[in-house]
């Protein structure tokens, strides 16, 4: 795997973990996510529409993929907000990011993008590390730890996470196949329209999952923090969409993206004083080792 791709994905993980922590830090997570998407929608509207009218880089099939992925991503944001509201950050975030790994890797095989045995070993290492990071002790290894009241929201977030990743990869392949459209500019335009659909989905669906407590905290969110989260969110996933154009195996990129869990767990210890340093750092080491294996020989 090219070092440039690894560097871009790792940079993306720092941005991804940071915006998730910004959401985690607010009581009204749904309003936080919606305002983040509104900032993207408003700020990017003119540049995205004008540049796409000039470039005409998105084919009808890519538009359809952007719409479908946008709906799935909007649902992901709703379920992510519910998960973070009902579970501690170091439990919800790693599991939501980890469980799709094997499903996405299997999707690579179905699409004809073979994964080497060493690559599978690395993906399984990353997945194992992700499942360790929610624990406070090795004695906590039990299905009961992962299946709680919040697990329904986590599972739903996992499913729709796969639901937007695969269409995004298909769209990236179509964009990258044409030298006239390949590159970060088209990835950014695709990402904008994808998130515009996500914004509408969150606005329509998210209200059905709101609580009275969440409504009472809406005024405390403001717009500055959502604007920062918007910049981090947009930039982080644009980098991933570009990486999808370059790397055939979606599973490799998604596995490397889990370095955001390492960052998130460390920051959760520092900011939220969560426990379980030994076992969670062991999981972080497994994730990091898996990423190194993918870089060297996946």
Cβ neighbours, 10 Å, residue 288? 16
Helices (H), the chain: 3-24, 29-55, 60-86, 89-98, 100-110, 117-132, 143-146, 151-177, 184-205, 212-217, 224-246, 250-257, 259-272, 277-297
| Average pLDDT, integer, range 133-138 | 67
| Average pLDDT, integer, range 237-248 | 89
pLDDT given for residue 179 in this prediction: 87
Q: Do the beta carbons of residue 186 and residue 55 sit within 8 Å?
A: yes
Q: Do the beta carbons of residue 39 and residue 223 sit within 8 Å?
A: yes
119 burial (CB, 10 Å; 0-12 / 13-18 / 19+) is buried
Cα 178 to Cα 21: distance, rounded to the nearest angstrom: 37
Provide the pLDDT confidence category of residue 65 given band limits of 50, 70 and 90: very high
Is 90 exceeded by the pLDDT of residue 7?
no
Q: Which among 72, 75, 96 is positioned nearest to 30, based on CA atoms? A: 75
| Average pLDDT, integer, range 103-131 | 80
| Average pLDDT, integer, range 84-103 | 68
pLDDT given for residue 272 in this prediction: 59
Q: What does the block give as tokens for 195?
A: 């998130």
Query: Which residue has 């044409």 as its token pair?
Result: 178
pLDDT given for residue 251 in this prediction: 80
Is 70 exceeded by the pLDDT of residue 276?
no
Provide the pLDDT confidence category of residue 213 given band limits of 50, 70 and 90: very low
CA angle 65, 67, 70 (to 5 degrees): 105
Cα 158 to Cα 98: distance, rounded to the nearest angstrom: 8
Is 80 exceeded by the pLDDT of residue 174?
yes
């Amino acid at each position: 795997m090219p070092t440039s791709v690894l560097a871009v994905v790792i940079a993306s993980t720092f941005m991804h973990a940071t915006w998730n922590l910004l959401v985690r830090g607010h009581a009204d997570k749904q309003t936080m996510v919606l305002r983040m998407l509104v900032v993207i929608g408003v700020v990017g509207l003119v540049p995205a529409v004008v540049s796409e009218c000039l470039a005409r880089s998105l084919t009808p099939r890519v538009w359809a993929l952007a719409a479908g992925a946008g709906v799935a991503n909007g649902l992901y944001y709703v379920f992510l907000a519910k998960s973070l509201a009902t579970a501690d950050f170091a439990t919800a975030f790693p599991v939501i990011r980890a469980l799709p790994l094997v499903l996405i890797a299997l999707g690579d095989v179905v699409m004809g993008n073979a994964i080497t045995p060493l690559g599978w070993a690395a993906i399984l290492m990353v997945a194992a590390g992700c499942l360790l990071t929610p624990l406070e002790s090795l004695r906590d290894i039990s299905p009961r730890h992962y299946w709680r009241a919040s697990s329904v929201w986590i599972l739903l977030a996992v499913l729709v996470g796969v639901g937007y990743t695969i269409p995004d990869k298909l769209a990236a392949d179509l964009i990258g196949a044409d030298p006239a459209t390949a590159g970060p500019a088209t990835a950014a335009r695709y990402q904008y329209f994808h998130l515009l659909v996500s914004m509408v989905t969150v606005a329509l669906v998210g209200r059905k999952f709101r609580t009275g407590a969440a409504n009472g905290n809406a005024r405390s969110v403001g717009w500055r923090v959502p604007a920062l989260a918007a910049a981090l969110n947009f930039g982080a996933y644009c980098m991933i969409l570009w990486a999808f154009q370059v790397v055939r195996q979606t599973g490799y990129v998604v596995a490397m993206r889990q370095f955001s869990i390492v960052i998130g767990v460390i920051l959760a210890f520092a900011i939220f004083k969560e426990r379980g340093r030994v076992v969670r750092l062991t999981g972080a080491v497994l994730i990091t080792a898996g990423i190194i294996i993918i870089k060297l020989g996946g």
